[in-house]
């Protein structure tokens, strides 16, 4: 009778060992996956930003060229939008009544 349980306990221990081995392999795979993502960003995709960081020490305006470009684009879009709104206002196309919008 005791021998019967001993076999089942040893089988259970073998199954647990296999599960632990599979989990270790899964953890290693996930670790490699996240290390690959880290490597992609740190060593490849952030390289231009590292160059800008080094450039900032010598020329602040050149290092912030991307910011200047976005500011110019935003300011141009703002001026264009204001001119269009003024055109609609000058032509009296704007509905200024209280019930102009359905949520009012």
Residues 10-33: pLDDT tens digits? 888 888 898 999 999 999 999 999
Whether residue 37 is predicted with pLDDT greater than 70 in this model: the reply is: yes
Helix (H, G, I), strand (E, B) or coil at 1: coil
> Half-sphere exposure (CA, 13 Å, Cβ side) for 7?
3
Q: Stretch 72-80: mean pLDDT, rounded?
A: 98
Whether residue 2 is predicted with pLDDT greater than 80 in this model: the reply is: no
pLDDT, tens only, 38-69? 999 999 999 988 888 898 889 988 889 889 99
Integer CA distances (angstroms), 92 to 16, 86, 88, 89, 95, in order: 79, 10, 6, 5, 8
Q: Do 19 and 27 contact (CB within 8 A), yes or no?
A: no
97 pLDDT band (50/70/90 cuts)?
confident
């Amino acid at each position: 009778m005791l021998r019967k349980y001993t076999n089942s306990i040893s089988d259970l221990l073998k199954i647990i060992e296999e599960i632990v081995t599979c989990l270790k392999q899964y953890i290693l795979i996930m670790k490699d996956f996240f290390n690959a993502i880290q490597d992609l960003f740190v060593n490849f995709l952030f390289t231009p930003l590292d160059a800008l960081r080094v450039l900032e020490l010598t020329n602040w305006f050149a290092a912030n060229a991307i910011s200047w470009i976005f500011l110019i684009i935003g300011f141009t879009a703002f001026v264009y939008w204001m001119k269009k709104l003024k055109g609609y206002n000058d032509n009296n196309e704007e509905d200024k009544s209280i019930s102009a919008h359905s949520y009012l």
